[in-house]
Structure 1
Amino acid sequence: MLSKGLLRVLLGITNVLFFIAGGTALGVGIWYSMDKLFIADVIGTDLFSAASYLFIFCGACILILSFLGCSASVFESKRLLIVYLFLVILILIVFLSAAIVAAVFQGELTSSLVTRMQTTLKQSYGNNIYSNADNKRITESWDFTQKMLRCCGVEDSGYGIYRETQWYRDGVSQAIDGSQVNFIPKSCCVYLEHRQKYQNVDLCQRNPYGPPTNPDPNTSKNDNMYYDGCLSAAKYYGEDNAGIILAIGFGFSFVLIAGIVLSILLIRKFVNLSFDPVSTKVT
């Protein structure tokens, strides 16, 4: 049977882990809200922004929770421990519910993302960007995403979508002849990091022998442009980090469960029940 002192030590260690997890979540949320919100412009929804702010909120709550748990243990307060136990159970339920919802609706979310991304590209990319701040921001976000993830358009081999943008229509109207029309933006072209330059912009944007001039994916391959759509590129990027995410999620769940078990055991230790012996003697 674990002693009260050992339980307090173990609960203290658990709350230190809570503090680390909360600080990590808070830092990730702030980082994404400051540096990664361009993705919200690309997917055409505030879902990503909301997730970043949710990280900040949850991180702050977990930090507060760690202090509450330490205080309850140090001062041996049964009431604080009960409040702490309730909040840890609540966080665990929310955590598991979010994971289940994400798994169930994964297909629907992917389908809706395709539609939203196509809409932002067709309606805003290169559309009056010098007088429309929103369209300029969305255009820059698409360029940044395509260059960073080495992708083009929304779906794989979907570079033909740029023919439906105002950017392409403006390019056609300004070109002297068809040979000067750019069919995809420069951000869709292969960028050589070690040389800090594009491989071949001319053949990338207006290759006369195949893509992107010819949108048929069965034509000759153009090695100077990206074929992966940004949706699949983002998926592959996430899968590359899936192991780390699963490990963090499993570790966090384990810490939450440990906090629940230790709290229950310590509450039982703090409860000092005295029973008066009941006389069974018959008079």
Structure 2
Amino acid sequence: MCIYFLQVAGIAIFAVGVWTAADKVYISDVVDNNSFEAAAYLIIIAGIIVIGVCILGFISLAKEKKILVIVYFAIWILIFLFLMVGGILAVVFRAELESGMKDAMKKTLTELYGHTSTAGQRDTTTAWNRMQHDLRCCAVDNDDWGTYKFTQWYLSQDDRLREKPFVPASCCVYDERSGAINDQDKCQYWQLGPPGNPFTQFKNTALYYQGCYEAAKNFIMDSSEAIVAVGFAFGLTLIFGMVFTVLFLRHIGNIDDEEIRRRQRSKTPNDGL
């Protein structure tokens, strides 16, 4: 029964890893830290290993081969150590996140956003746009629209234009159902209030006010807490699995001992003739 729980846990871990890698790993480009991306792929690998080991466990139970059960147990110990290392890395990443994330975000926004010379620069621009859209935020800090004036995206706009957009379209409020931006002109060009004039009391309902630092930090913290919770539950199940494996090894050992004694008893009459 324990193996079934481990199999389900392995599938769940694999699914979480795939979701993180496919949907949220772009944040690594924004915060200039590959730990989040590495963690996502680490989770995928862990899920695949768990699923494979569970299949080995089913075979071991069916065949009742002691050597297979020993290999199965040894792999679970390695996975347990792997899980501990992953937990340590998660703690380290959260510490790094607190100390350097905001500075890294300001750097990627002002130095890379809007540049198109390299694939890394283009990826960073795409990542920023996607994060602002998905997390409903703009720039780094709250009310930080003016930062975009120092980006290549703004500086490379045609000076002959009567008006330049102050922020990219990804900073604009969009309708959840239709996916369309509510009022793009007001969001990007409005000068009576933000983003053109952020020091007035006018409210721009078409523009995001929350900075992406807090939004991204909250997202990563929530994601890491969920992953840690899944890892903790998996760790407990893993311990029960190892205990079950030890008991099963003892069971196989008792069967082997009984088989040896039976063979010895069957040979005893022949030895006396």
TM-score normalized by the length of structure 1: 0.77
Aligned-partner residue type, residue 46 of structure 1: N
SS in 2 for 1:154: coil
TM-aligned CA deviation for residue 26 of structure 1: 2.9
2:174 to 176, 179, 191: 191
1:26 matched to 2:14:
yes
TM-aligned CA deviation for residue 62 of structure 1: 0.8
Question: What's 2:213 paired with?
Answer: 231
2:91 to 68, 93, 103: 103
Aligned-partner residue type, residue 237 of structure 2: V
TM-aligned CA deviation for residue 66 of structure 1: 0.5
- Name the CA distance, whole Å, in 2 between partners of 1:60 and 1:97: 17
SS in 2 for 1:171: coil
Pair 206,107 (structure 1): closer, same or farther in 2 beyond 3 Å? farther
1:63 matched to 2:46:
no
What is the RMSD of the two structures over their aligned residues, measured on CA atoms?
A: 3.0
SS in 2 for 1:198: coil
Question: What's 1:206 paired with?
Answer: 189
What are the ranges of 5 or more consecutive residues in structure 2 without an aligned counterpart? Answer: 259-273
Superimposed CA distance per residue, residues 167-225 of structure 1 (whole angstroms, 9 cap, x where no aligned partner): 1112373433xxx1322111101112235432222222233233222455x85443221
Aligned residue pairs, count:
257
Question: What's 1:51 paired with?
Answer: 39
Question: What's 2:268 paired with?
Answer: none
Aligned-partner residue type, residue 190 of structure 1: V
- Name the CA distance, whole Å, in 1 between partners of 2:45 and 2:178: 42
Within 5 A, what are the aligned runs for 1:84-95? 84-95=72-83
Bigger helix fraction: 2
- Name the CA distance, whole Å, in 1 between partners of 2:97 and 2:51: 31
Within 5 A, what are the aligned runs for 1:112-123? 112-123=100-111
Residues 211 and 219 of structure 1 are in contact (CA less than 8 Å); yes or no, is this contact kept in structure 2? no
- Name the CA distance, whole Å, in 2 between partners of 1:156 and 1:257: 45
Aligned-partner residue type, residue 108 of structure 1: E
Residues 133 and 171 of structure 2 are in contact (CA less than 8 Å); yes or no, is this contact kept in structure 1? yes
Question: What's 1:253 paired with?
Answer: 235
Residues 156 and 227 of structure 1 are in contact (CA less than 8 Å); yes or no, is this contact kept in structure 2? yes
What are the ranges of 5 or more consecutive residues in structure 1 without an aligned counterpart? Answer: 1-12, 275-283
Question: What's 1:267 paired with?
Answer: 249
- Name the CA distance, whole Å, in 2 between partners of 1:101 and 1:47: 8
Question: What's 2:262 paired with?
Answer: none
Within 5 A, what are the aligned runs for 1:114-193? 114-127=102-115, 129=116, 132-171=118-157, 173-176=159-162, 180-193=163-176
Aligned-partner residue type, residue 175 of structure 2: L
Aligned-partner residue type, residue 211 of structure 2: G
